[in-house]
């Protein structure tokens, strides 16, 4: 789970656009900075860096193994602090080449860590409450972080098309990143998606293909396409580029700690869709500890789900190690993954750190969106309503300690899920006169 250090140094060979084609044929020679290999999370089997995601031995998920052995803690800290105001300040800890900041990329990250004193008062938190507000990313969701990593891997492997299946945030993030980087994009969505979401995904000018079927059909088709000659040269950000893509979530952990003054928070509340984000935040925190960038002390990670899609929360409460799939039915569509791939790892982390997994229903999600907006002026996506609502619930149940420093993630933007708060409206309607103003009791 934690940072893996290897004895062999990272391959010093560099990849530029002229050699990118050959890199596809010989993926071991790519330069992805400190990334040394892919390693199976289940059996530890290692393979060279390449566009693969499942272990050839046991079909377990592959993740990046790094070589951080050459780093001096204080030199690394200075390098980060003098880096750009985006995720590339952490390039030494990510699977990207050292000159990544010079390449065309949306440069997400370094979003605000808002000291949420008003919300803290409402929730009774006395130990310091912060909202990590990822609506400040270029396409207004945390997906820009992970897509930025996938894009650099795609570049290194000589891919020229960026692709994904999506029903929302990811489509926009892929379309925008591909446009900036000069890649072709081809995004697959269910054909009957709401018009607003289609517009948000289509405006970047890539191919946007509607599939006659539901989201599962879209995913099945994408898997077929990856195995077909037609899919050659295509990087599916969350399939064949998944090991690289997933690492983007580590930057949330890095930023939170650096913004707290190189300090671990006591408690973090993270939304769960596939569960990948939560596991990578834990990985990022562990790396900071091992590298000596933060003091090693206990932290608790809490997972947040919507009641209408709460397979991990259910397993946590039932004391199970496996996650039983659910059919999603919730307004928190960006979290609506009924069979979360990283569910078991999430359960492990929540239990190991002394955290928990909790869920809130749709009405509680809407209440929490309004609470965050009214107290801090942050208009969150439904996923942000889930984390804020779960935070409130965890305090009430005593699982989250209000006397400790707590960070709550908002991973998206309310403008993308306006329907959730559609009931919000005018306080009053008056005639344009002072009399009418006074009659309405507004003074």
Taking CB under 8 A as the rule, does residue 16 contact its own copies? Answer: no
Give the distance from CA 278 to its chain's centroid.
8
Taking CB under 8 A as the rule, does residue 261 contact its own copies? Answer: no
Tell me whether residue 4 or residue 163 sits nearer to its own copies (CB atom).
163
Which 342-401 residues touch its own copies, going by CB under 8 A? 369-370, 373-379
Taking CB under 8 A as the rule, does residue 83 contact its own copies? Answer: no
Stretch that binds its own copies, among 1-9, 196-204, 236-244, 355-363 (CB under 8 A): 196-204
- Per-residue interface string for the shown chain with its own copies, residues 165-194, x marking contact by CB under 8 A: -------x--xxxxxx-x---x----x---
Taking CB under 8 A as the rule, does residue 2 contact its own copies? Answer: no
The partner residues of 190 in beta bridges, in order of sequence, read 211
For 107, 116, 255, 387, the CA distances from 262, given in Å and listed in that order, are: 22, 19, 9, 24
Kind plus residue range of the DSSP H or E element containing 227: helix 215-227
Contact 152, 96 (CB under 8 A): yes
Give the distance from CA 281 to its chain's centroid.
9
Tell me whether residue 8 or residue 433 sits nearer to its own copies (CB atom).
433
Taking CB under 8 A as the rule, does residue 81 contact its own copies? Answer: no
Least CB distance from residue 276 to its own copies, whole Å?
23
Which 124-153 residues touch its own copies, going by CB under 8 A? 136, 138-140
Contact 358, 304 (CB under 8 A): yes
Tell me whether residue 27 or residue 108 sits nearer to its own copies (CB atom).
108
Q: Give the total of residues touching its own copies (CB under 8 A).
A: 78
Taking CB under 8 A as the rule, does residue 17 contact its own copies? Answer: no
Tell me whether residue 140 or residue 300 sits nearer to its own copies (CB atom).
140
Q: Which long-range contacts (CB under 8 A, 24 or more apart) does 434-440 make?
A: none
* Alpha-carbon dihedral angle through residues 175, 180, 182, 188, given to the nearest 10 degrees: 0
Q: Which of 16, 224, 321, 396 binds its own copies (CB under 8 A)?
A: 224
Tell me whether residue 80 or residue 399 sits nearer to its own copies (CB atom).
80
Least CB distance from residue 411 to its own copies, whole Å?
16
Which 228-247 residues touch its own copies, going by CB under 8 A? 228, 230
For 233, 300, 345, 397, the CA distances from 357, given in Å and listed in that order, are: 39, 11, 12, 12
Contact 247, 280 (CB under 8 A): yes
Contact 161, 233 (CB under 8 A): yes
Contact 412, 381 (CB under 8 A): yes
Taking CB under 8 A as the rule, does residue 117 contact its own copies? Answer: yes
Q: Which of 211, 264, 360, 409 binds its own copies (CB under 8 A)?
A: 211
Least CB distance from residue 166 to its own copies, whole Å?
13
Least CB distance from residue 302 to its own copies, whole Å?
25
Taking CB under 8 A as the rule, does residue 207 contact its own copies? Answer: yes
d(CA 270, CA 384): 9
- Per-residue interface string for the shown chain with its own copies, residues 41-80, x marking contact by CB under 8 A: ----------------------------------------
Tell me whether residue 57 or residue 224 sits nearer to its own copies (CB atom).
224
Tell me whether residue 127 or residue 213 sits nearer to its own copies (CB atom).
213
Contact 350, 303 (CB under 8 A): yes
Least CB distance from residue 198 to its own copies, whole Å?
6
Tell me whether residue 90 or residue 110 sits nearer to its own copies (CB atom).
110
Least CB distance from residue 69 to its own copies, whole Å?
32
- CA angle 232/106/141 to nearest 5° reads 95
Question: Which of 69, 181, 191, 125 lies closest to 376 in space, CA to CA?
Answer: 125
d(CA 69, CA 429): 66
Tell me whether residue 36 or residue 208 sits nearer to its own copies (CB atom).
208
Tell me whether residue 24 or residue 353 sits nearer to its own copies (CB atom).
24
For 172, 175, 188, the CA distances from 208, given in Å and listed in that order, are: 10, 9, 6
d(CA 39, CA 243): 10
Tell me whether residue 359 or residue 381 sits nearer to its own copies (CB atom).
381
Least CB distance from residue 234 to its own copies, whole Å?
10
End-to-end CA distance of the chain: give it in Å, rounded: 58
Give the distance from CA 354 to its chain's centroid.
22
Measured from the Cβ of residue 250, the count of other Cβ atoms closer than 10 Å reads 29
Contact 221, 211 (CB under 8 A): yes
Residue 188 corresponds to which tokens in the numbers above?
């697959």
Taking CB under 8 A as the rule, does residue 210 contact its own copies? Answer: yes
- Per-residue interface string for the shown chain with its own copies, residues 306-345, x marking contact by CB under 8 A: ----------------------------------------
């Amino acid at each position: 789970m934690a940072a893996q250090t290897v004895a062999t140094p990272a391959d010093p060979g560099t990849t530029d656009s002229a050699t990118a084609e050959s890199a596809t044929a010989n993926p071991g020679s790519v330069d992805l900075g400190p990334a040394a290999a892919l390693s199976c999370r289940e059996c530890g089997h290692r393979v060279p860096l390449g566009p693969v995601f499942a272990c050839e031995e046991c079909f377990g998920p592959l993740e990046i193994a790094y070589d951080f052995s050459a780093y001096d803690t204080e030199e690394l800290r200075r390098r980060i602090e003098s880096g750009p105001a985006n995720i590339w300040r952490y390039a030494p800890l990510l699977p990207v080449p050292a000159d990544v900041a010079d390449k065309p990329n949306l440069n997400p990250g370094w979003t605000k860590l808002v000291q949420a004193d008003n919300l803290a008062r409402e929730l009774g938190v006395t130990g310091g409450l912060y909202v990590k507000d990822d609506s400040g990313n270029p396409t207004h969701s945390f997906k820009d972080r992970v897509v930025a990593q996938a894009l650099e891997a795609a570049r290194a492997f000589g891919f020229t098309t960026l692709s994904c299946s999506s029903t929302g945030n990811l489509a926009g993030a892929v379309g925008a990143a591909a446009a900036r980087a000069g890649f072709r994009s081809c995004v697959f969505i269910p054909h009957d998606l709401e018009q607003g979401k289609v517009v948000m995904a289509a405006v970047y000018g890539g191919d946007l293909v509607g599939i006659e079927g539901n989201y599962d059909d879209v995913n099945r088709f994408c898997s077929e396409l990856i195995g077909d000659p037609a899919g050659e040269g295509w990087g599916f950000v969350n399939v064949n580029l998944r090991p690289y893509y997933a690492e983007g979530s580590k930057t949330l952990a890095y930023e939170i700690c650096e913004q707290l003054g190189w300090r671990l928070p006591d408690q973090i509340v993270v939304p769960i869709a596939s569960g990948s984000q939560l596991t990578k935040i834990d990985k990022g925190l562990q790396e900071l500890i091992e590298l000596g960038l933060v003091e090693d002390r206990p932290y608790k990670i809490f997972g947040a789900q919507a009641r209408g899609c709460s397979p991990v929360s259910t397993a946590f409460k039932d004391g199970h190690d496996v996650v039983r799939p659910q059919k999603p039915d919730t307004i928190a569509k960006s979290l609506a993954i009924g069979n979360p791939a990283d569910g078991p790892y999430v359960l492990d982390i929540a239990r190991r750190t002394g955290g928990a997994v909790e869920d809130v229903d749709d009405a509680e999600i809407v209440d929490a969106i309004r609470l965050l907006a009214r107290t801090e002026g942050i208009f969150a996506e439904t996923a942000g309503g889930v984390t804020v609502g779960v935070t409130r619930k965890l305090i009430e149940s005593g699982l989250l300690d209000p006397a400790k420093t707590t960070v709550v993630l908002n991973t998206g933007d309310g403008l993308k899920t306006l329907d959730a708060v559609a009931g919000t409206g005018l306080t009053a309607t008056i005639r344009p006169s002072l009399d009418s103003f006074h009659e309405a009791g507004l003074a």
